Amino acid sequence: AQSVAQPEDQVNVAEGNPLTVKCTYSVSGNPYLFWYVQYPNRGLQFLLKYITGDNLVKGSYGFEAEFNKSQTSFHLKKPSALVSDSALYFCAVRDTSGTYKYIFGTGTRLKVLA
Amino acid sequence: EAGVAQSPRYKIIEKRQSVAFWCNPISGHATLYWYQQILGQGPKLLIQFQNNGVVDDSQLPKDRFSAERLKGVDSTLKIQPAKLEDSAVYLCASSFILPEGGELEKLFFGSGTQLSVL
């Protein structure tokens, strides 16, 4: 069964510093991986996805993610954090059985300190 | 473009009462999902529709939860009777089929309905 794990409940980073939010995955076959962000009292918003191709994927709001097949990881990164990046971040994997079912991780709360 | 609409925004009920949530996806989106997000956890898929047919409802507690999408557009999720552990945010999401085939690998979410069961 497909799954993703987010090992950190919370990540704190100072504004202007680089940030990393970690995600590891377990899938059979080629992984379809995603990052979503959730601001307070809002639904989830798509940030970026990895389907195939370059291991470094660029997404919205200056975020990028690095796909590493040998480490089964898909970490979210940003070179310089903003206070407005503070939110809840979810890693997700799409089921490879053809049902277009998405499985989400438990989420990581990012807090960017001014 | 209009986003995924959900109502109500908040709902407070007592245990054993019934409740219904409504979702109107983005126009033209064939796939509709209902997720349950308990505080501190990631969204858990309850049911997935393709047009008006059910694709996956394996994690829907069918003794108390039901969902329908009769005309392949908007959808209703019902809980009857509610339990304390049903307190959560219920998220609706939608997606569409690309003209060249395949699904767009991106979900559009509504703002959710926050349910409190007392």
Å from A71 to nearest chain B CA?
Answer: 23
Q: Quick one: pLDDT at residue B104?
A: 67
Q: What is the pLDDT of residues B69-111, one digit of tens each?
A: 988 899 999 999 999 999 999 999 999 867 665 656 689 999 9
Pairing of strands A108-113, A10-14: parallel
> Distance between CA atoms of A100 and A93, rounded to whole angstroms?
10
Reported as a pLDDT band with limits 50, 70 and 90, residue B1 is low
Q: Which of A42, A49, A101 sits opposite B106 (nearest CB)?
A: A49
Q: How many CB pairs under 8 A join A and B?
A: 56
Q: Which residues of chain A lie closer than 8 angstroms to B31, CB-CB?
A: 100
Q: Quick one: pLDDT at residue B101?
A: 57
pLDDT (mean) for B109-118: 96
Q: Quick one: pLDDT at residue B96?
A: 82
B30 CB-near residues (< 8 Å, 6+ apart): B50, B51, B72, B95, B96, B97
> Distance between CA atoms of B38 and A67, rounded to whole angstroms?
28
Q: Which residues of chain B lie closer than 8 angstroms to A42, CB-CB?
A: 111
**Does the CB of A106 have a partner CB in chain B at under 8 Å?**
yes
Nearest CA to B29 out of B52, B46, B7 is that of B52
